[in-house]
Amino acid sequence: MSSQTLILLLVVVLSNLNSISCLEFVFNTNFNSTNIHTYGNATIENSIVSITNQTVFTIGRALYPSKITTKQTNSTNPLPFSTSFIFSISTYKNLLPGHGLAFAFFPFDGIVGASSSGYLGLFNLSNDDDNKFKELKLKNGVNYQAWIDYEDSRINVTMAKAGETRPIRPLISEFLDLSGVLLDEMYVGFTGATGQLVVSQKILSWSFSNSNCSIGDALVTANLPSFVIPKESVFRSKGFVIGVSVGAVLIVVCGVVIWDVLVRKKREKREGKEEIEDWELQYWPHRISYQEVYAATMGFSEENVIGFGANGKVYKGVLLGVEVAVKRISVESEHGMSEFLAEVSSLGRLKHKNLVGLRGWSKKEKENLILIYDYMENGSLDKRIFDCDESLTLSWEEMIKVLKGVASGILYLHEGWESKVLHRDIKASNVLLDKDLNARLGDFGLARMHHHEELATTTQVIGTPGYMAPEVVRTGRASTQTDVFSFGVLVLEMVCGRRPIEDGKPNLLDWLCMLIERGDLLSALDDRIKAKGCYSDEEVERVVNLGILCACPDANVRPTMRQVLKVLEGTGLEEEILNVNLLERIETALNLSACYESNIEALVIYEVRKIMEVSERKFFLGGSMV
Ligand SMILES: *[C@@H]1O[C@H](CO)[C@@H](O)[C@H](O)[C@H]1NC(C)=O
Ligand SMILES: *[C@@H]1O[C@H](CO)[C@@H](O)[C@H](O)[C@H]1NC(C)=O
Ligand SMILES: *[C@@H]1O[C@H](CO)[C@@H](O)[C@H](O)[C@H]1NC(C)=O
Ligand SMILES: *[C@@H]1O[C@H](CO)[C@@H](O)[C@H](O)[C@H]1NC(C)=O
Ligand SMILES: *[C@@H]1O[C@H](CO)[C@@H](O)[C@H](O)[C@H]1NC(C)=O
Ligand SMILES: *[C@@H]1O[C@H](CO)[C@@H](O)[C@H](O)[C@H]1NC(C)=O
Ligand SMILES: CC(=O)N[C@H]1CO[C@H](CO)[C@@H](O)[C@@H]1O
């Protein structure tokens, strides 16, 4: 789990009223329904304000009961203010944390016009403005005290652990003229939201004054309740004793191994060879010397660049007379490299007609890993779906062939091998087309090995926004069902000829659900495919339904890859699967279409972007390969 929680502290004003005198109040863990008003899903529990909890897609707001004067009498000058509050943000077990909390002035009470998730119950899609945010990263659960002071158009935000003295230097000190945005009287308080990501956000104490800049000192910081997730006591447990014993044995074993490795390395150095580990020779793919790769790509010349991945370029090359695609990846650490090599050695053994073959690998020094793949003449699938001219678009038949290919590639990964492999990043740019337009899944960099039955336990989010199942966004956990979800999105974007998320257009899934409700499903079919003909309406309907079913927010409703393939191949069983079983499930899925609505937010806006920042490191293999 990401140990970092994002919180946002800000003073914001939403739009452009008359006045009186100064105000001052102090609440020391004595909130009640009289002295603070809550809106949305905020509650008061044990005299503490809870802005958000584990409930997804909620907005919580807590405001001082009446409007306060924010301007000096007969003037547009804002009144100075000092406010301080103690808050706690804690995460839930096995869930990724989000989204944040804000201190704000509001022109009205209630939560009308605000959106959840990354908008913090403060903004919505039409009035969001990223520039207003200042972001701080905090550890979880701890009670923090924040101070916000405003005077003479200067705003200072200071923060410390509750109980510690106020730091002299503010975290943020900015000139900010609030006169244009503050109304004469406004509500003041806190707002927060959850999305797919949830976090508990609490306000323990709060003080505010227009005249006393030391009002923060009035907050009692002693004996505050703690929301830090308790760690299990380890010392008393049996596990501890066993752990220590096993640990001691391990240390000895490791020592022996390390010593052995060091001796070997020394010997290798003396012999002046590249370090080649034993397994490198045992398995596909073989290691290829850097010089060979260098020559094959004409010294990694720009002319040979055929694609850009997230972490490096892809080159075309000729190795031993065969065309290859060479992907260069920079690896941050030595640890990253060894992790990678272990993975490459396993993945190199995966062989299937619908997977891009990995021919070999090479490395230069410690940070440059090079993967050599079969060259795919027809490039990546995305170039055949989006923004391309008609001559390049696939016909319905070709499209079905590609989908069958992708489906059998995924099925092989999921079931065809002794250990289950998740792809984790199925999308059009990761599907390559060979000279006969056969689909081959590429980019296994994100795939990890999993033994059958064992649930993937990584909590790092891996994937691409729009293709990620809601549960991945929420928990970071991938499974075969999450691959099925991405496949569903791929099916739908191929049929419709548009990306799952496009600026200014409704989310693809929502749009399709709307068309289905209207009974106008066929209008979803890409006009360019329509122009090529050779399809039947029933077939289109079947494939769209299949896509929607795969992309159902409820993972249990999604079919397995084996069922998907059967439907695509139309091997008799289809009737049974689709008509009886699946159609029923599609109904369920459609009933869940309300879910889709909230998913738009989850997928489009903010959280995925945020998570991606956190786990950027994991994206080094993302992007397309040609
Ligand atoms: C609420 O708290 C205030 C102090 O802030 C107190 O004066 C008031 O009596 C409390 N009201 C109720 C209903 O407990
Ligand atoms: C979250 O808060 C709501 C009230 O907004 C409450 O009904 C619900 O039980 C709470 N959920 C949890 C898990 O505490
Ligand atoms: C503020 O303006 C009102 C009229 O607009 C006037 O009656 C009042 O005396 C003024 N107050 C001050 C303090 O200037
Ligand atoms: C967004 O908020 C503005 C007020 O700031 C409101 O006028 C508008 O209707 C809201 N839009 C939506 C979609 O809620
Ligand atoms: C904000 O911080 C600056 C620098 O520490 C200080 O000079 C200024 O007086 C502060 N302003 C307020 C309103 O606290
Ligand atoms: C400001 O508030 C602090 C904390 O409550 C208090 O100790 C101090 O006396 C107040 N100062 C003034 C000028 O009222
Ligand atoms: C449990 C609870 O109070 N849920 C509410 C959360 O807020 C939404 C509106 O924002 C209400 O519809 C829910 O009933």
**Residue 496 three-state SS:** helix
Q: Which residue has the higher pLDDT, 609 or 286?
A: 286
Percent of the chain with pLDDT over 90: 19
Q: Is the pLDDT of residue 581 over 80?
A: no
pLDDT of residue 407: 95
Q: Which residue has the higher pLDDT, 197 or 314?
A: 314
Residue range 347-392, pLDDT digits in tens:
777 888 999 888 888 877 766 778 888 899 998 898 888 877 778 8
Tokens found for residue 232: 């299990």
**Residue 83 three-state SS:** strand
pLDDT-derived band at 586 (thresholds 50, 70, 90) equals low
pLDDT of residue 405: 95
Q: Whose CA is nearest to atom 13 of ligand 2?
A: 54
Q: What span, in angstroms and rounded, lies between the C-alpha atoms of 460 and 463? A: 10
Q: Whose CA is nearest to atom 3 of ligand 1?
A: 35
Q: Is the pLDDT of residue 255 over 80?
A: no
Residue positions annotated with a catalytic role: 425
pLDDT-derived band at 331 (thresholds 50, 70, 90) equals low
Cα 195 to ligand 2 centre (Å): 14
Segment 401-425 mean pLDDT: 88
Transcribe 389-426 into DSSP letters. -TTTSPPHHHHHHHHHHHHHHHHHHHHSSSEEEE----
Q: Is the pLDDT of residue 531 over 70?
A: yes
Cα 86 to ligand 6 centre (Å): 18
Cα 34 to ligand 1 centre (Å): 6
Residue range 45-77, pLDDT digits in tens:
999 999 998 888 888 999 999 999 888 887 888
Mutate to test the pocket of ligand 3, among 74, 77, 79 (most ligand atoms within 8 A of CB): 74
Cα 73 to ligand 6 centre (Å): 24
Q: Whose CA is nearest to atom 10 of ligand 7?
A: 40
pLDDT of residue 344: 72
Ligand nearest to the CA of 55: 2
pLDDT of residue 587: 55
Element (H, E) at 6: strand 5-8
Mutate to test the pocket of ligand 5, among 149, 177, 210 (most ligand atoms within 8 A of CB): 149
Transcribe 10-36 into DSSP letters. ---B----------EEEEES---TTT-
Q: Which residue has the higher pLDDT, 575 or 33?
A: 33
Mutate to test the pocket of ligand 4, among 124, 125, 186, 191 (most ligand atoms within 8 A of CB): 124
Ligand nearest to the CA of 20: 3
Q: Is the pLDDT of residue 270 over 50?
A: no
pLDDT of residue 248: 52
Cα 48 to ligand 2 centre (Å): 14
Strand partners, 175: 154
pLDDT-derived band at 575 (thresholds 50, 70, 90) equals low
Task: Report whether residue 73 contacts ligand 3, using a CB cutoff of 6 Å.
Answer: yes
Pairing of β 286-287 and β 358-364:
parallel
Q: Whose CA is nearest to atom 11 of ligand 1?
A: 34
Task: Report whether residue 205 contacts ligand 7, using a CB cutoff of 6 Å.
Answer: no
pLDDT of residue 31: 95
Strand partners, 329: 369
Q: Which residue has the higher pLDDT, 623 or 32?
A: 32
Q: Is the pLDDT of residue 544 over 70?
A: yes
pLDDT of residue 463: 66
**Ligand 7 atom with the shortest distance to the CA of 111:** 10
Q: Which residue has the higher pLDDT, 377 or 22?
A: 377
The answer to whether the beta carbons of residues 61 and 39 sit under 8 Å apart is yes
pLDDT of residue 606: 34
pLDDT of residue 258: 52
Least-confidence region, from 469-473, 517-521, 561-565, 581-585: 581-585
pLDDT of residue 111: 81
The residues, any chain, with a CB within 8 Å of residue 281's CB and separated by 6 or more, are none
Task: Report whether residue 59 contacts ligand 7, using a CB cutoff of 6 Å.
Answer: yes
Provide the mean pLDDT of the chain: 74
pLDDT of residue 51: 92
Q: What span, in angstroms and rounded, lies between the C-alpha atoms of 513 and 470? A: 17
Segment 524-552 mean pLDDT: 88
Q: What span, in angstroms and rounded, lies between the C-alpha atoms of 99 and 586? A: 31
Backbone angles phi, psi at 416, to 5 degrees: -85, 5
Cα 21 to ligand 3 centre (Å): 14
Q: Which segments are annotated as binding site for ATP?
A: 327
**Ligand 2 atom with the shortest distance to the CA of 60:** 5
What residues flank ligand 2, with Cβ below 6 Å? 41, 43, 53-55
What residues flank ligand 4, with Cβ below 6 Å? 14, 113, 124, 126-127
pLDDT of residue 96: 74
The answer to whether the beta carbons of residues 464 and 622 sit under 8 Å apart is yes
Ligand nearest to the CA of 54: 2
Q: Whose CA is nearest to atom 7 of ligand 4?
A: 113
Q: Which residue has the higher pLDDT, 610 or 26?
A: 26
Residue range 211-252, pLDDT digits in tens:
888 999 999 998 888 887 666 544 444 544 455 555 555 455
The answer to whether the beta carbons of residues 474 and 555 sit under 8 Å apart is no
Percent of the chain with pLDDT over 70: 68
> Within 13 A of 133's CA, how many CA atoms are on the CB side?
18
Ligand nearest to the CA of 72: 3
